[in-house]
Structure 1
């Protein structure tokens, strides 16, 4: 059995965290192997085991807390764990309580993990293009501040996500970002097809974090689309006409 593959950020050294790939689980077929997506068609028992393994690899004996992700800018503050069936609709979580593993699921979108070690506050955000543009990282920072964190001390890392070379978008997509801020056009380069562009989601998310005042922002530079042996990818599964796709998880917590 393959060991669980964990990508870690130097910026979060000393913090229990991990951006997990697809290795080390029990799922099979297109979902092989560490699929943690409750919304997938995978066997729920296998998903539960994969989620257990993921938590044990990052923060043993912690209780996993995740949300029903809807590509929003909404962030919830976690004081106690909830059952999976009661997950609130949101795309980010923050806590100051030890023993909770905040989990964000992705399959091309950008997972972002945050920490202010002095305040003892951590956060996790799911930043797809819609949530990133809508300000999900800003909401996460604001929620952490409500728990006593300071953006002067916060650090953040942007984990594996679809890279510019793999992310072709149309003119309407570019227009949304240009309307929000004309300077956003710098995150787009000409695509291989006419009237199409390549979008750098990772760089855009990092920009939003820096613009919010975070001094330490790390990008892991891992392309989920281009590395099928390491990551699940919604876009890759769509291009291959696969019936479903798995999700990987990124976790942060306080010991």
Structure 2
């Protein structure tokens, strides 16, 4: 089995995969899951097939992510070159895993029983409402918010997420109480506890705090385990791989 992080809180088969256990080479070594990173198609296809099999799924779908607040429902596989623009995918189709790609952003997997979802929550997306949009769509499809469970995967943690005042100002302009997630580092920089902000957004969306798990994992601090955009920048690399996180319904959704 290829390495992956999981949460006992989620009942549906799922996994937060890192960079170990694949066949890609060089800066993409080894489990790069991105079809648009600059990696060769053949190894990425093999990597995604390994993750698909690890989940016990028939397909793993990822969207064209744009740091938006767009969540969509999918019921059938789509070709890689016809990926819809979205930052969260929801499904109830047995055998169909929905996933997101990240390389510092926060991946969040949702389990609503016969309906599951995967969301990509970068700082722009979490501020723009991608998590709330995901919960709203799942509710519209029949899942009670109080029955939702969520798991936060590996991402850029507060101790390494250094930001300037412009980001702080943008976040606190919309959520004044979000100042609690920023810690002053020096005259021009703060550390941003994006983990805490994401959890706050999930709770505000109606998910109970005790039904939100965190698998741990700091992408920038653990470059051997996870792909990281900032780590690539620090190394002077213009390309980088992506971690894939995905979840598949445990049972078929009633027609």
TM over 0.5: yes
Q: Does the alignment pair 1:196 with 2:192? A: no
- The 8 Å contact of residues 170 and 195 in structure 1, kept in 2 or not, is answered as yes
Name the counterpart of 1:100: 96
Q: Does the alignment pair 1:217 with 2:212? A: yes
- Alpha-carbon deviation of 1:97? 1.3
* Matched ranges for 1:120-199 at <5 A: 120-191=114-185, 193-199=186-192
- Alpha-carbon deviation of 1:211? 1.2
- Alpha-carbon deviation of 1:40? 0.9
Name the counterpart of 1:253: 248
- Alpha-carbon deviation of 1:206? 0.8
Q: Structure 1: 5+ residue runs without aligned partners? A: none
* Matched ranges for 1:17-56 at <5 A: 17-56=14-53
- Alpha-carbon deviation of 1:49? 0.6
- The 8 Å contact of residues 113 and 125 in structure 1, kept in 2 or not, is answered as yes
Q: Does the alignment pair 1:230 with 2:228? A: no
Number of aligned positions between the proteins:
248
Tell me the alpha carbon deviations over residues 47-84 of structure 1, each in whole angstroms, 9 at most, x when there is no partner: 11111111111124x21111000000001100111111
- The 8 Å contact of residues 4 and 21 in structure 1, kept in 2 or not, is answered as no
* Equivalent position SS for 1:228: coil
* Equivalent position SS for 1:156: strand
Give the structure-2-normalised TM-score.
Answer: 0.95
Q: Which runs of 4+ in 1 moved over 6 A?
A: none
Give the structure-1-normalised TM-score.
Answer: 0.95
- Counterpart-to-counterpart distance in 1, 2:14 and 2:172: 34
* Equivalent position SS for 1:45: helix
- Counterpart-to-counterpart distance in 1, 2:180 and 2:100: 28
* Equivalent position SS for 1:23: coil
- Counterpart-to-counterpart distance in 2, 1:172 and 1:243: 24
